[in-house]
Structure 1
Amino acid sequence: MNDPDHPLSPSPSPIQPGQAGLPTLPGDNRTVVTNLQGLVDQPPPRLSDHSAATLMQPRPLPGSEDLTGQVWGDFALEGLLGRGGMGAVYRARQVSLDRPVAVKVLPPHLGANENFRTRFALEAKAVAQLNSPHVIQVYAAGQHDGHHYFAMEFVEGTDLQRKIRDGFKATYRQALDLVTQGARGLVAAGEHGIVHRDIKPANMMITAKGVLKLMDFGLVKLVSSNEGMTMAGTIMGTVNYFSPEQGRGESCDQRTDIYALGVVFYELLTGKLPFTGADATSVIYQHIHTAPRKPKEIDPQIPEDYQAVVLKCLQKEPRERYATADDLLADLDNIAEGRKPQTAYTDPKSLRAGATIIKSPQFSAEKVDEKGDKARSRWPLYAAIVLVLAGGGMLVRRHFKQQQREVLPRTVATPDDESVRG
């Protein structure tokens, strides 16, 4: 998502039973459960020599008409920035204010579908509520000639993923500063009950002045309502930054975003991801079951306080992480000001008084697994993983298997490279 303000990742083609060497799963969900139950206690399967990142790579999708040159009310479309299965993003000019903007367009064939319209409108609505220098701003939304669209802030800059790919090595202090800015964006989202659900370097734009802005709220969820079009058993996000509850297809709250931001912090400090694997299945499995290697084991010079914050974010159980982005930000600010972080060193088995926890639903009839841990509702995990890998994409809905998720290529305008595909 290298666009100044909003690209989403292209989604896979519809999942077909029997593809990718997987057995056909006939019947209803009970049959799927029966067929997949045997996978629970087996190591995650290997699909191919593809890496998880390759498996998650968006597939090329057929394009549509180029709308460059059209004027939609106050917005003149000047050039295409990127295109994907859910439409396109254009550089445009807001005529009345004579300023550059980015316009995200939902194509007519998807606009005819109520579910796609709902998600598209939800993204615009959610981001428009936020007033933070660390979140891309939405200016307006509307329709023109069958196209649903919204106009957003146009940012000249580079997303963090591209910077890392181009060899950026953050100092400890730079890593702290970038993650602190990301936390400030999450605080703003949390004030409106918004969960991003896809926090990762590709969704973090860095401006020429070093300001980090969160973008691409295409998987947004409003925790105070049913909005977000997510059901239990759905997998949404990007596997390298998945929280365990996302891997299990369970509901999410702000602690999901805190986990993902912890993965980013880990990556910036160590130059490595906490979990990698030959395929997406193995990465998701590790997020759920494997403790990450401690950052100081990779680089002994990493300050102890930094490591404590990272490990607090990466707790498997949401209740053992920071309860809110405000709590995380408080610890980051303490470190920046030379004080010890407070919450990072609290007993992860206990919660601070007054913390509000939104419990994820449990689906397993089991009470305790072989290690004595609470059941993780493991059949939805493997059912969802099989579907993810069969389609090669990041979004699986058991009730929408034949529909494509809202997607756009990761595109951003930069001073020396107007269009960059992530």
Structure 2
Amino acid sequence: MSIQNLAGQSLGQYQLKELLGIGGMGAVYRAYQSSLQREVAVKVMSPELVSQTDYIDRFYREARTAAALGHAHIVPVHDYGVQGEISYVVMHLLTGGTLMDRLTQQAELGLPMPSLAETADLLKQLASALDYAHSQGVIHRDIKPNNIMFDNQGNAYLVDFGIAKLMTASRVLTSSGVLIGTPPFMSPEQWRAEEITPATDQYSMGVMIYALVTGHVPFEADTPHGLMYKHLNEVPTPPQTYRPDIPEPVSDVLNRAMAKVPSDRFPTVTAFSQAFDKAIQGMPGDKTNFFAAP
């Protein structure tokens, strides 16, 4: 069975209408929930993974963990279930696209990057969501542009807690030694398969904000091993290399968020956001509408 060809089928009360995307855990569909007469997003797990205990447990863990999170900038999970060899999670449908969509469009069309003020506003939204999740014992572990979605008003949401793990069980859950994350955004402790903490999410957020400020990730290499070496041993390329107008305090804030040692980072993601906001004071606040719905 191909999870890419389920449009027209039903999972319980959810009628799958349109394939929206494919990811590491499965596929996401636009669907119609007949009981409440509304559109939702349904994430379908790859059938070949269902028989693998670690994957199915991770799937259920995602659903239970994400469903328990309630925050203005975290996508709500409505339901989850199993039908035959298919496991699925039902989420609020967001139609404003992802941050990766915007970055791709910017690169293809040569559009301006967001202003520092717009980037600061995005960081503020996501920082509040992450600090809330951290207060609930949940670490995202895979902050990246594909996991930031928008509604039609340009409000940002964190999505896909599919690899989130409760901090209290982190040692058990990482015992397999499997690296979880996306290489350009992975923290040094993820590369080393060491203990994961809320500071891990802050590092990845720092990489993402650096990319929004400069149009580049701070470390680039041709291979995952090359990326690992740079994340572990090198300092980020100064943002001024790409944008000479970036003030030095912004570089200092980004460097602290991406410090190699977790304890050297800001105490919370909100503290990172506040420091970034302070560092850009006096900079032009031009509105580019970068985060508006495409």
TM-score w.r.t. the length of structure 1 is: 0.61
Separation of aligned partners in 2, 1:72 and 1:64: 12
Q: Is the CA contact 1:63–1:84 (under 8 Å) kept in the aligned structure 2?
A: no
Counterpart among 231, 235, 238 of residue 287 in structure 1: 231
Indicate conservation of the 8 Å contact 2:4/2:19, yes or no.
no
- Structure 2 residue aligned with 1:143: 82
Counterpart contact for 1:110–1:116, Cα < 8 Å: yes
Question: Deviations for 1:335-390, whole angstroms, at most 9, x for unmatched residues?
Answer: 6888xxxxxxxxxxxxxxxxxxxxxxxxxxxxxxxxxxxxxxxxxxxxxxxxxxxx
C-alpha spacing 1:296/1:105, structure 2 compared with 1 (3 Å): same
Task: Give 1:299's match in structure 2, choosing from 222, 243, 246.
Answer: 243
Q: 1:141 to 1:180 in 2, by over 3 A?
A: same
Which of structures 1 and 2 has the larger relative contact order (alpha carbons within 8 angstroms, sep 6+)? 1
**Whole-Å separation in 1 of the counterparts to 2:182 and 2:139:** 15
Give secondary structure in 2 for the equivalent of 1:104. Answer: strand
- How big is the alpha-carbon RMSD for the aligned residues of Structure 1 and Structure 2? 2.6
Question: What are structure 2's unaligned runs of at least 5 residues?
Answer: 283-292
Paired letter, 1:143: V
Pairing 1:127–2:66 present: yes
SS in 1 for 2:168: coil
Gaps of 5+ in 1: 1-61, 339-414, 417-422
- Residue in 1 aligned with 2:40? 101
Q: 1:299 to 1:120 in 2, by over 3 A?
A: same
Give the superposition deviation at 1:284.
1.2
Runs of at least 4 residues of structure 1 off by over 6 A?
none
Residue in 2 that maps onto 1:26: none
Deviation (angstroms), 1:77: 1.9
In the alignment, what sits opposite 2:12? 73
In the alignment, what sits opposite 1:376?
none
1:201 to 145, 150, 172: 145
The answer to which structure has the higher helix fraction is 2
- Specify the structure having the higher radius of gyration (Cα): 1
Aligned to 1:32: none
CA 1:67–1:227 in 2, change beyond 3 Å: closer, same or farther?
A: farther
SS in 1 for 2:100: helix
Distance 1:139 1:326 in 2: 27
1:153-207: CA deviation from partner (whole Å, max 9, x where unpaired): 1100121112112115111111111222221221121121111111111211133
Q: Percent sequence identity over matched residues?
A: 35
Name the residue aligned to 2:288.
none
* CA apart distance, 1:64: 4.7
Residue pair 2:73, 2:126 contacting (<8 A) in 1 also: yes
Instruction: Indicate conservation of the 8 Å contact 2:174/2:193, yes or no.
Output: no
Distance 1:282 1:267 in 2: 19
Which residue is equivalent to 1:179? 123
Specify the alignment match of 2:272 in structure 1: 328
In structure 2, C-alpha distance between the alignment counterparts of 1:279 and 1:121, rounded to whole Å:
32
Q: Which moved more, 1:329-338 or 1:178-187?
A: 329-338
Deviation per residue, 1:122-149 (Å, 9 max, x gap): 1111211211121111001122234221
Evaluate the alpha carbon distance shift between residue 228 and residue 295 of structure 1 in structure 2; reply closer, same or farther with a 3 A threshold: farther
> 2:290 matched to which residue of 1?
none
Query: Residue 294 and residue 93 in structure 1: after superposition, are their counterparts in 2 closer, same or farther (change >3 A)?
Result: same
Q: Residue 332 of structure 1: CA displacement?
A: 4.4
Question: Which stretch shows the higher mean deviation, 295-304 or 252-261?
Answer: 295-304
Distance 1:263 1:85 in 2: 21
Q: Secondary structure at the match of 1:158?
A: coil
1:351 aligns to what? none
TM-score where L is the length of structure 2: 0.85
CA shift in 2, pair 1:107/1:269, >3 Å:
closer
| Paired residue secondary structure (1:105) | strand
Structure 2 CA distance for partners of 1:278 and 1:64, relative to 1, 3 Å: closer
Give the Cα–Cα distance (whole angstroms) in 2 for the partners of residues 146 and 322 of structure 1: 44
Alpha-carbon offset, residue 80 of structure 1: 2.5
Which of 243, 253, 261 pairs up with 2:205? Answer: 261
Residue 70 of structure 1, CA deviation: 3.1
Aligned equivalents of 1:65, 1:239: Cα separation in 2: 26
Q: Distance in 1 between matches of 2:242 and 2:7?
A: 49
Residue 92 of structure 2 aligns with which residue?
153
